[in-house]
Chains A and B, each alone.
Chain A
Amino acid sequence: MATQQTRSLARFMMAPSVVLLFVWMIVPLLFTLWFSFQQYNPLNPIRNGFVGFSNYALFYSNPAFLSSILNTLIIVVSVLVITVVGGILLALLLDQPIWGQGIVRILVISPFFVMPPVAALVWKNMIMHPQYGVFADIARFFGAQPIDWFGQHPLTAIILIVAWQWLPFATLILLTSLQSLDGEQKEAAEMDGAGFLSRFIYLTLPHMSRAITVVILIQTIFLLSIYAEILVTTNGGPGYASTNLPFLVYQKALLEFKIGQASAGGVIAVILANIVAFFAMRAVGKNLDK
């Protein structure tokens, strides 16, 4: 039985984290909202002042804006498709009895622990470099012309790098879920003569659905705000070909010092994230009840 005393104790124990997070969430956000209605340039303070919605209009009319939203979505969706489909296939493979399973798992999970700047630099220089990269070596071996990944296919290159970082995460979680599948159910299905494909569709996939949902949600949170990978590889270019929304906001704020426009972009990013978060929260909340 919780008494009045333990209840107020509980509140007291929770206070620090709740207050800290509340301040951390609300104060900077209010600032951003305020700046989004201001003309503010630290290099040119004379023209500072309230400008209504014109920052939003400016940000919207910027040709980079729509392409940056499109790029953001392309990155999120492509990486999700690659990692979820690849993750399911890999999990199925690793669930088989194999020799050296422990080591295989360690090798597969490793990219997840590589910090984003290292992952991006290694891929940029060691793997995809048009002259010295491994891909170029392979292309030359087959007598083909090496591809200039970051010049010609910047977005594809970034998607590849990010997918490499997140495939291990998806695989690990899906594998964990797969291993909790009841062996007897599998056997029963097998005895009933269910083939591999029907076992997968009617038994395995439904069992993994919760894990798949979680993978999609968590990855979406992180994929919406890809930053370091773009910074060290293409720097958003060529042109705006690989600029996503976070990167555009960063450029406006810290490179062009157009704080008002950057803040307007920030507010848009928050709205976008909230739409995603709304669905994410509901799904995670549902899983908690089980």
Chain B
Amino acid sequence: MARAVTTQHKTIATAAAWIVALLIFFPILYTIITSFKSEQEAIQGFALIPSGTMESYAEVQAQSGYFKFFLNSVILSVGSTLLAILISVPAAWSMAFSPTKRTKDILMWMLSTKMMPAVAVLFPIYLIFRDSGLLDSRIGLTVMLMLINLPIVVWMLYTYFREIPGEILEAARMDGASLWNEIIYVLTPMAVPGIASTMLLNIILAWNEAFWTIRLTTTNAAPLTAFISSFSSPQGLFWAKLSAASTLAIAPILIMGWFSQKQLVRGLTFGAVK
């Protein structure tokens, strides 16, 4: 028997949930609203209806060249993710399909590298980057972001691959499939959803990484995190412009994030919560 739900109960729960949800979402909502105000409107006190002007967006692009930072963010997050996938797939694959006694230890050790505080190695990394000419270069930062997220990528892929039943591989082998055919026709189709989810989450993480991207760039390779941080100087503070820049910086990833809730839970809990 299904639990009987009274309409009254549902109404109260709905009202409470919506109020809390709107409160949590409010800073984002208000930023979006303010981005459509003029500078003057923006500091005139609380108002939820903007005049709808687009001048802040035009100014942000004209003054600081938003698009270049956006492009850097795309290149860095997608590039580092592709690189990480390329390196992780074979590793996760072999751990999932021919695990040894040490597999778990290796996975644990990989995860432990995430625990190292970035700031502890800031200066050595800074020196290495400076001396090899990688400061403010997209290549250097791509490698950096790849390394930071590599443990999570290996882990996520591992938990996905582990769910592919090994019997299918044996059946394919019995039918005389070569290793190559096995990979292309049997494994790949089953692995694609897992790889896609891993990529999605990893792009989000790389996009929002805000330590190395700020410290290792100045202009050329600077992504949106650095772009936004430059707004923190007091002389550059204009509410509407700040809002427009913020909205532009978070919009793409916010939308991607909405589609990745399930993968997020799985990926960030290393498969412990599904």
Using CB atoms and an 8 Å cutoff, list the residues of chain A in contact with chain B: 2, 6-7, 9-11, 13-14, 16-18, 20-21, 24-25, 27-29, 31-32, 35, 90, 93-94, 96-101, 103-119, 121-127, 132, 134, 137-138, 164, 167-169, 172-173, 176-177, 180, 183, 187, 190, 210-211, 214, 218, 221, 224-225, 227-228, 231-233, 245-247, 249-250, 253-254, 259, 262-263, 266-267, 269-270, 272-274, 276-277, 280-281, 284-285, 287-288
Contacts and interface: CB of A to CB of B under 8 A. Distances in A.
Nearest to B33: A126
A183 to B, nearest CB: 8
B29 to A, nearest CB: 9
A90 B17 CA distance: 8
Interface in B219-274: 224-225, 228-229, 231-232, 237, 239, 242-243, 246, 249-250, 253-254, 256-258, 261, 264-265, 268-274
A256 to B, nearest CB: 12
B246 A31 contact: no
Interface stretch (B54-62, B117-125, B134-142, B186-194): B117-125
B246 A121 contact: yes
A277 B119 CA distance: 16
A228 B268 contact: no
Interface of B: 1, 3, 5, 9-10, 13-14, 16-18, 20-22, 24-25, 27-28, 30-31, 34, 42-43, 45-46, 87-88, 90-91, 93-95, 98, 100, 104, 106, 108, 110-128, 147, 150-151, 154, 204, 207-208, 210-211, 214-215, 224-225, 228-229, 231-232, 237, 239, 242-243, 246, 249-250, 253-254, 256-258, 261, 264-265, 268-274
B20 A126 contact: no
Given A21-B150, A110-B25, A13 B93 contact: yes
A29 B116 contact: yes
Which secondary structure dominates chain B's binding surface? helix
Given A98-B10, A106-B258, A109-B257, A116 B24 contact: no
